[in-house]
């Protein structure tokens, strides 16, 4: 194993190699791919907002540009957090010569997966009525119930999942 992971990007392979949890290793792979995809989507959105608001004056236009960046951070940080927490824990235990044991890695992977599901639920809840399609299939009643909720409620599932992730980290570190 390398001496250190040297930043966010290096934390992914470091945490993957350091952990014995298969659940956590699967989250490192999925979380890394989702982080890259979400980052690219938000970068494209910011570029689009800047392109459509070029030549405008400050005020609301500047606020909307900043809003995209802040929302992007609030989505990306919880996706990356389990990997960073586990990498840091393994590095510190290795420096002290202590074994790393307990359910920490698997618990953080579970909260990472929960955040991904909560993010999806939040996206479904926040779909504008003009873009909603008629749900079909076995999950049609669930999707219809999510569509019926006020759009602002779409913030709640990811926020609760992120808080649960932080509580899990503090409990088992």
pLDDT digits (tens, 9 = 90+) for 64-117: 777 878 888 999 999 999 999 999 999 999 888 888 878 999 999 999 999 999
Task: Spell out where 34-126 has E strands.
Answer: none
* Domain range enclosing 125: 8-172
Number of domains, the chain: 1
47-53-58-64 Cα dihedral, nearest 10 degrees: -60
In a domain, 49, yes or no: yes
The percentage of the chain sitting over the pLDDT mark of 90, rounded to a whole number, equals 69
In a domain, 3, yes or no: no
Ranges 26-35, 46-55, 111-120, 124-133: which has the least confidence: 46-55
Contact 78, 31 (CB under 8 A): no
pLDDT digits (tens, 9 = 90+) for 147-163: 999 999 999 999 999 99
pLDDT category of residue 52 using cuts at 50, 70 and 90: confident
């Amino acid at each position: 194993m390398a001496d250190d992971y040297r930043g966010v990007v290096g934390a992914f392979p470091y945490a993957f190699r350091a952990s014995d949890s298969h659940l956590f290793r699967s989250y490192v792979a999925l979380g890394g791919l989702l982080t890259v995809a979400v980052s690219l989507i938000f970068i494209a959105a910011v570029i689009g907002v800047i392109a459509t608001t070029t030549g405008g004056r400050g005020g609301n236009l500047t606020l909307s540009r900043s809003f995209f960046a802040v929302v992007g951070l609030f989505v990306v940080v919880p996706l990356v957090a389990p990997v960073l927490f586990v990498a840091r824990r393994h590095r510190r235990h290795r420096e002290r010569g202590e074994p790393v044991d307990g359910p920490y890695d698997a618990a953080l992977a579970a909260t990472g997966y929960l955040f991904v599901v909560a993010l999806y639920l939040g996206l479904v809840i926040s779909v504008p009525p003009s873009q909603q399609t008629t749900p079909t299939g076995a999950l049609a009643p669930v999707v219809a119930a999510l569509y019926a909720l006020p759009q602002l409620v779409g913030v709640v599932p990811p926020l609760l999942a992120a808080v649960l992730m932080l509580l899990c980290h503090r409990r088992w570190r």
